Amino acid sequence: MSDMWQMAKAFYADWRRYGKDAKKHEVWIRKHARNRGWSVNPRWMIYTNLKLWIADSEAMYGRRYCPCYEPSDDAELNRRLICPCQFAQEEIDTTGWCHCTLFGRGDLTAADYKRAEDQLMAEYRGTPLNLTGGVLDTRDQHMDVLRGLPVPDAIHQVKRAIGAVGLPLVVIVATRTEALHLERLAELRSMRSEVAEVEDAWRVTLS
């Protein structure tokens, strides 16, 4: 299945789940951008997706964490990840936009945001999945310099793998926290999950 088809399917599935919830984010997003002198991504598809992903984060974790990252077992880092995250200003000052491309400098054009999105998609979709024989190993990803978190994280990899190969899927994650997140994902998506500790990692079977 092509990445574009996967993304379209995921968009409509998320819209059915979170369309109403996503609309409430419009108010604080616009207000925060005005207060900081930022612009908001003007490209409808990615902007709508970002609001849906924030709503999904709220459903998963109980807080509106940055849609690019799953929270860790570090409470202070997680506090800084709540959208709009505390890393956004530094990224906007450096590159012109925050990592997820929701916010940017006030003078950014739609073309600038398109370039930002291309970089984001290359990071999340351009990285090959370590997927062999129905087993996805999510470890050993590139680490974001500011946050010290993997990109793409286990949740993003699993959603992509399910879209590509379906279920059942065996997932190897590095931490118990990531395994718990996958259990929560299974609960929200009406899947079954089984978790086991294996050597220095955790195995989550989704079906």
Q: For the domain that residue 94 is a member of, what is the CATH number?
A: 3.90.460.10
Give the mean pLDDT of the chain: 94
What is the number of structural domains in the chain?
Answer: 2
Give the pLDDT score at 22: 83
85 and 139 co-located in one domain: no
Question: Where a domain ends, among 125, 148, 166?
Answer: 125
- Contact in structure between 27 and 35 (CB atoms under 8 Å): no
159 and 191 co-located in one domain: yes
Give 174-185 pLDDT, tens digit per residue. Answer: 999 999 999 999
What distances in angstroms separate CA 63 from CA 13, 43, 84, 107, 188, one per listed residue? 21, 25, 12, 30, 15
Q: Provide the residue range defining the domain that includes 188.
A: 131-206
Return the H-helix or E-strand segment holding 165.
helix 154-165
Give the pLDDT score at 15: 85
Give the pLDDT score at 2: 59
Give the pLDDT score at 198: 96
Question: Where a domain ends, among 125, 155, 170?
Answer: 125
Separation CA 42–CA 65 (nearest Å): 21
75 and 52 co-located in one domain: yes
Question: Where a domain ends, among 78, 103, 125?
Answer: 125
User: Residues 12-48, buried b or exposed e (16+ Cβ, 10 A)?
Assistant: eebeebbeeebeebeeebeebbeeeebbbbeeeebbb
Give the pLDDT score at 11: 77
101 and 182 co-located in one domain: no
Residue 38 has pLDDT above 70, yes or no: yes
Looking at residue 66, its amino acid is C
55 and 111 co-located in one domain: yes
138 and 82 co-located in one domain: no
The two structure tokens encoding residue 102 = 């929701």
47 and 119 co-located in one domain: yes
9 and 100 co-located in one domain: yes
114 and 12 co-located in one domain: yes
Give the pLDDT score at 39: 98
Residue 10 has pLDDT above 90, yes or no: no
